[in-house]
Structure 1
Amino acid sequence: MRTLFIILVFLLSFSSIAMPENIILVRHAEKQKGVDPSLTQQGIQRAKIIAQMMLPYEPTKLYSTDYNRTKATLAPLADLIDTHISLYNPGRLDEFAHMLKKQTGTIIVAGHSNTTPVLVKHLTGRDVEIAEDEFDKVFVVTFEDEMAKLKIHSSNK
């Protein structure tokens, strides 16, 4: 019984220190006009570039808001790695950030110009901006000794 208790304590303590390798945040690619628009041709191309850019990170989980443009931004990557896209609520970013920090592997999150910076802030404590006409920023959050580090890349060719 004592051995079982020790094993249980070890497993619980191990799970409490589990953290993701990377959390990568992107804004959706270029969109058409309208209430819940799809991507433009340029946006479709950017989504393909983002997919290729993410492959070396070996993503394990994809998250998107429930909008056509964010789901379409991750669709090429989902097809390449043969996985589905999970949805998150952009109105509950604090809870979502907390949940992301408890996962493992590399997580890719597609959001918006007004939600992605907020999520970066929740994860890293750093302020970032995305202009309304800016679609190329890629935020890579890594964790070392439970400290978040942020790198910003571009999905431009």
Structure 2
Amino acid sequence: MNVPMNRFLILAVLTLGGCATPRPDTGGNADALTFVVVRHAEKAIDDPEDPALTEAGRQRAQRLARLLADAPVVAVYATEFRRTRETGQPTADTHHLPVSAYFSRGPAAESAAHWRRDHDHGTVLIVGHSNTVPDLVAALSGQAATPMPETEYDRVTRIRFDAEGSARVDITRY
């Protein structure tokens, strides 16, 4: 009698498991890993070495925070420059997180390996520069990335990893 009952339980579990309803994806569900890579928002000319954001840049940073408000953001990274920190700060504030620094001139592969090692779920925001974002996207995804002109501020690249670790890259605007 135990053998047929065990078979019944196994069959029931397998059948019900196939009926599970997936959660909606709002930029990455809590069980998946998604990297969101953006360039800093529009920069001012107030400081030739470390400029702040313009008013338009501050508004763009707020739009980014609204875009990621419902995502399960677990970390925010920005380079050592003020414009990247100011771009990531509203998102960090929304999710009660610090903005963690990474070295802008460091090898993209090293940063990507660090982030992949430290994060296995959730959404990770990375704010870079026009000359670093494509390399970071390529290093994280293992796929070629489109160069970014100096005039482009609105590209949002999402790198989503499936259960097997394969990356899917989606580019949108904000």
Q: Could you state the TM-score of these two structures normalised by the residue count of structure 2?
A: 0.75
The yes-or-no answer on 1:94 pairing with 2:109 is yes
The yes-or-no answer on 1:26 pairing with 2:41 is no
- Corresponding residue of 2:77: 63
Please show how residues 5-154 of structure 1 align to structure 2 within 5 Å.
21-33=33-45, 34-90=48-104, 91-102=106-117, 103-104=119-120, 105-124=122-141, 125-144=143-162, 145-154=164-173
Could you tell me which runs of 5 or more consecutive residues in structure 1 were left unpaired when the two chains were aligned: 1-18
Identity of aligned residues (%): 34
The structural deviation recorded for 1:101 is 1.5
The structural deviation recorded for 1:127 is 2.0
For residues 57 and 38 of structure 1, the distance between their equivalents in structure 2, rounded to whole angstroms, comes to 26
| 4+ aligned runs moved over 6 Å, structure 1 | none
CA RMSD of aligned residues (A): 1.3
3-state DSSP of counterpart to 2:127: strand
Could you tell me which runs of 5 or more consecutive residues in structure 2 were left unpaired when the two chains were aligned: 1-30
* C-alpha distance after superposition, 1:120-140 (max 9, x if no partner): 111122221211011000000
3-state DSSP of counterpart to 2:80: coil
3-state DSSP of counterpart to 2:147: coil
3-state DSSP of counterpart to 2:66: helix
For residues 73 and 90 of structure 2, the distance between their equivalents in structure 1, rounded to whole angstroms, comes to 13
3-state DSSP of counterpart to 2:152: coil
The structural deviation recorded for 1:113 is 0.2
3-state DSSP of counterpart to 2:114: helix
Q: Could you state the TM-score of these two structures normalised by the residue count of structure 1?
A: 0.83
